[in-house]
Structure 1
């Protein structure tokens, strides 16, 4: 997946991410946009979920590095 595809998919999934992890804000998503590493870190920081579980869920949604 190239950078443009990831950004497009990220936009599509933003609402789903906020529903799954209610602690994630629009500002968090803006800061992490385009960087899987930052996104996983923000979700982990806010939710306390394990990094591997977050990465697995994102991959299952079609958002891979």
Structure 2
């Protein structure tokens, strides 16, 4: 699934994001509002990941997410 599809279905994606990255708060997810760069930044902040690691995780998640 590409990010445009995820962004378009953000209300449904919120739960999947929370399952994958449990350290993200509900406020984080609300503020992200489907924006990929915002999600990457919050993942880096909450998990202490490098930009590259956050991107790798997000790409893997995008490829694996199923509705």
In 1, Cα distance between equivalents of 2:3 and 2:42: 22
CA RMSD of aligned residues (A): 2.5
String of CA shifts for 1:30-62, please: whole Å, max 9, x gaps: 111221111111111111112211111111122
TM superposition score normalised by structure 2: 0.65
Gaps of 5+ in 1: none
Gaps of 5+ in 2: none
Structure 1 residue runs of 4 or more that deviate by more than 6 Å after TM superposition? none
TM superposition score normalised by structure 1: 0.66
Deviation, structure 1 residue 9: 6.1
- Equivalent residue pairs, number: 61
